[in-house]
Amino acid sequence: MEQNEIYTNVVRIISKHAKNEEALKSLNTETHIINDLQVNSARLVDIVLDFEDTFNLEISDDDADKISTIGDAVKLVKELMH
Amino acid sequence: MQQSRRVVVTGLGVVAPNANNTQEFVKALREGRSGIRHFSKLADLGFACQVGGIPEGALEAAKAKFSEDLLFSMNEAITYAMLAALEAFTDAGLKALPADAESPMEDTGAIIGTGIGGLDTFSEKVYPGVAQKRIKRLGSSVVEQIMGSGPSARIGGYFGLGNQVFSNSSACNTGTEALIMGYQRIQQGLANRMLVGGTEGSDPHTWAGFDAMRVLNKNHNDRPEEASRPLSDSAGGFIPGSGSGVLVVEELETALKRGAKIYAEILGGTINSGGMRAGGSMTAPSPKGVQRCIRETLLQAGISPDQIDYINGHLTATMADPLEIRNWSEALERGPGRFPVINSTKSMIGHALGAAGAIEAVATLLQLHHGFVHPSLNCGDFHSEIKGFETHVPKTSRDFPISIAAKASFGFGDVNSCVIFKKWE
């Protein structure tokens, strides 16, 4: 899967839970999932499950804890896919 | 003694098997439109009663109203409650606080109960996930859906409510109990405004236990609209229903100050139990308990029994219907000929369990507001034990001015509630 495709899917998955719709208009790899997009922290669990289903991989709790920004998520998914 | 604060109803919202909002509900009530349908799923599962009441299109409508994140975290019952709450809050001329508000509405709370609640979440997610040892796959949203306070918590957060946010549960008494609890809280000066009501989903796991108890009517699977038959000789049990009713109740001066539309004043409300003594049991109401509940409400309301124009009965289509009529008659000391008009909203929508009292309170207030009584369907073969009361039960819709209306609900556990409304003029 190309980097662009990973990014698009990561954004799609995270956006479902974003409460700050303004922030969705100016996304980049530095966008913080909780602070900027105001995703409820509990929903990170669901986002990780959605990553697992979408990219057909397993994400450990330790790896999941490293995700803060969209860039973190894209990087982790890319690593686990290779 | 300090005079207690007066409480009025300023907003109504409903999701019912025959209507997805109050505007549709008024029409359905006037037309006597049944929302009972046959469900092949119930037949496939081996239910004796294969008909029920499920709101049509409500879950689809929710998709246009709520965000993807909210929809993700709501099961059927919570979605119905949110739809009804949103309609009631809007009807009351109120708006949810913005997400970035510094503080919540401290004078406003919610008591939204459920009889059984999120069994769809349990059957579709929790049970299979645990059975397959896939705990992690349950995700983050099952707790907020199956916790008893799921409906009120979701509503409290959506609107930004800072007063008590609570879900009561007293079986089929739940909806009316929530209304009275909110009324009492405002009377006591603990809140100025409360969203109150009840909600129930339609998962077959919710209905199965009632089918097993043989309290559901299994004789009209081929004629769903005739299946809910309160007050009839051929009543063979209730028809399970689902949906939600939510009301905004508000302290009178608060409502007047903001120029709110007022449907009615709540003159009195009582919650009690027969204690499973003197004829009461887990499943049957003690006549003494019911009559005491009605009498105490009358005393609180400061009205004479003759002033009651209309009763929205609990009337489920079980063998308790004649008993209920006799209880009203004795408590009000009004026999055949002097009895108020009475009907059963369940004849159209079935028995929505924990939501029933709230949906029926909305039906009561809509009839009071618009000056009509809806037909009590399917009682052409009127129950022979209470034949003398037949003329007091409308078989067709008719214009009928209502000044004072009573609503009561009774539930498993021998629990009762009764509330009296007076039209605001």
User: What average pLDDT score do residues B79-94 get?
Assistant: 98
Exposure letters B110-123 (e unless 16+ CB within 10 A, then b): bbbbbbbbbbbbbe
**Shortest alpha-carbon distance between residue B136 and chain A (Å):** 9
pLDDT at B3: 64
Mean of the per-residue pLDDT values of chain B: 97
A12 touching chain B per CB within 8 A? no
Q: Which of B67, B68, B139 faces A45 most closely, judged by CB atoms? A: B139
Number of residues in chain A: 82
pLDDT band at B252 (very low <50, low <70, confident <90, very high): very high
Q: Which of A18, A19, A46 faces B141 most closely, judged by CB atoms? A: A46
Mean of the per-residue pLDDT values of chain A: 95
- Residue ranges of domains in chain A: 3-81
pLDDT band at B2 (very low <50, low <70, confident <90, very high): low
DSSP symbol at B280: -
Residues B220, B293, B314, B418: which is the catalytic one? B314
Chain-chain contact of A18 with B69 (C-beta, under 8 angstroms)? yes
Return the structure tokens found at B84: 């009804």
Distance CA A47, CA B352 (A): 35
Confidence check: pLDDT of B1 > 50: no
Residues B49, B220, B293, B351: which is the catalytic one? B351
Q: SS3 of A29, please?
A: coil
pLDDT tens for residues B182-205?
999 999 999 999 999 999 999 999
Task: Write down the pTM of the prediction.
Answer: 0.97
User: What average pLDDT score do residues B268-274 get?
Assistant: 98
Q: Would you call B383 a catalytic residue per the annotation?
A: no
pLDDT at B164: 98
- Contact in structure between B159 and B97 (CB atoms under 8 Å): yes
User: What average pLDDT score do residues B342-349 get?
Assistant: 98
pLDDT tens for residues A1-14?
788 999 999 999 99
Q: Which fold has domain A3-81?
A: 1.10.1200
Confidence check: pLDDT of B43 > 80: yes
Give me the total of CB pairs closer than 8 Å, taking one residue from chain A and one from chain B.
28
Interface ipTM? 0.89
User: What average pLDDT score do residues B150-161 get?
Assistant: 98
User: What average pLDDT score do residues B32-55 get?
Assistant: 98
Chain-chain contact of B140 with A45 (C-beta, under 8 angstroms)? yes
pLDDT at A21: 87
**% residues pLDDT > 70 (chain B):** 99
Backbone angles phi, psi at B20, to 5 degrees: -105, 5
Q: Which residues in chain B are contacts of A39 at CB distance < 8 A? A: 69
Burial of B212 (0-12, 13-18, 19+ CB in 10 A): exposed
Q: Would you call B314 a catalytic residue per the annotation?
A: yes
Return the structure tokens found at B421: 């409304």
For B10-29, the DSSP string reads EEEEEEBTTBSSHHHHHHHH
**Shortest alpha-carbon distance between residue B69 and chain A (Å):** 5
Chain-chain contact of B69 with A43 (C-beta, under 8 angstroms)? yes
pLDDT at B80: 98
User: What average pLDDT score do residues B6-13 get?
Assistant: 98
pLDDT band at A23 (very low <50, low <70, confident <90, very high): very high
Place of tokens 């026999």: B335
**Shortest alpha-carbon distance between residue A57 and chain B (Å):** 13
For residue B249, which of B330, B186, B296 has the smallest C-alpha distance?
A: B186
Chain-chain contact of B139 with A49 (C-beta, under 8 angstroms)? yes
Residue ranges with strand state E in B125-170: 165-166
For residue B416, which of B237, B241, B245, B284 has the smallest C-alpha distance?
A: B284
pLDDT tens for residues B281-318?
999 999 999 999 999 999 999 999 999 999 999 999 99
Q: Which residues in chain A are contacts of B69 at CB distance < 8 A? A: 16-19, 39-40, 43
Q: SS3 of B289, please?
A: helix
User: What average pLDDT score do residues B238-255 get?
Assistant: 98
Kindly list the structural domains of chain B, giving each domain's residue range(s) and its CATH number in brackets, ordered by start: 7-257 (3.40.47.10), 269-423 (3.40.47.10)
User: What average pLDDT score do residues B197-217 get?
Assistant: 98
Tell me which of A14, A17, A20 to substitute to probe the interface with B (most B C-beta atoms closer than 10 Å).
Answer: A17
Q: Would you call B351 a catalytic residue per the annotation?
A: yes
